[in-house]
Amino acid sequence: MMIRKMTAVALILGSLVTPGLVAAETEGAVDAGVQEKLTAQLVAEGYDVRQFKAEDGLIEVYVVKDGKMEELWFDASLKQVAHEEGDEG
């Protein structure tokens, strides 16, 4: 009986922790379709796209152009927006 109670408690605690772990694993992920669209747009503008990251409700794209690394920010509609590190969005 004690083992059943301990198992039940472990399952309940596990269900409370799991959503946080899942969120941490997907934080920063950008949809593959969005990446394709932005990559095509940015390559056409002369950028070499290096990395995508979701942050502060925006899409952060690391690019290189003319030998200089830049960070570009886009909203959900893929419109480029101004963003400074530390902004709340």
- Per the structure, the count of domains in the chain is 1
How many C-beta neighbours within 10 Å does residue 55 have?
16
**In a domain? residue 86:** no
Does any domain span residue 87?
A: no
At residue 22, the pLDDT reads 35
Pairing of strands 80-81, 48-55: unpaired
Q: What are the tens digits of pLDDT across the range 51-86? A: 999 988 899 999 999 999 999 999 999 999 998 765
Estimate the share of the chain in helix, then strand, then coil, as percent rounded to the nearest 5: 45, 30, 30
- For residue 53, what are the domain limits? 2-81
The answer as to whether 89 is a domain residue is no
**Bridge partners of residue 52, in order along the sequence:** 61
pLDDT value at residue 54: 94
Per-residue pLDDT reduced to its tens digit, 6-39: 455 455 545 444 343 333 344 689 999 999 999 9
